Amino acid sequence: MKLLSGNFRTLMIISALIAIGIIIYLISGMGLQPIDQRGNGTITENITPVVPMMIDADFDFMEANVSEVKYINSTPVTFEDMRMYPELESYMHGVNNDPNVWHRGWRYVNTFPGNLSTYDVLVKKICKGKSIFECNHGTLFEYHNQFYHVSYQQYGTMQRDPNR
Over residues 75-95, the pLDDT tens digits come to 898 888 888 888 778 877 765
Q: How many CA atoms lie within 13 A of 8 on its CB side?
A: 5
CA atoms of 127 and 141, how far apart (whole Å): 11
Q: Residue 75 burial by CB count (10 A; 0-12/13-18/19+): exposed, middle or buried?
A: middle
120 contacts 79 by C-beta, under 8 angstroms? no
pLDDT in tens, 115-160: 888 888 888 888 888 888 778 777 889 988 889 998 888 887 655 4
Per-residue confidence at 1, pLDDT binned at 50, 70, 90?
very low
Q: Give percent above pLDDT 70 in the chain.
A: 70
Task: Please list, residue by residue across 113-122, b when 16 or more beta carbons sit within 10 angstroms of its beta carbon and e when fewer do.
Answer: ebbbbbbebb
Evaluate the CA torsion angle 76, 82, 83, 89 in order and state its sign.
Answer: negative
Q: Please report which confidence band the pLDDT of residue 48 belongs to, taking 50, 70 and 90 as the band edges.
A: low
- Apex CA 150: angle with CA 145 and CA 155, to 5°? 160
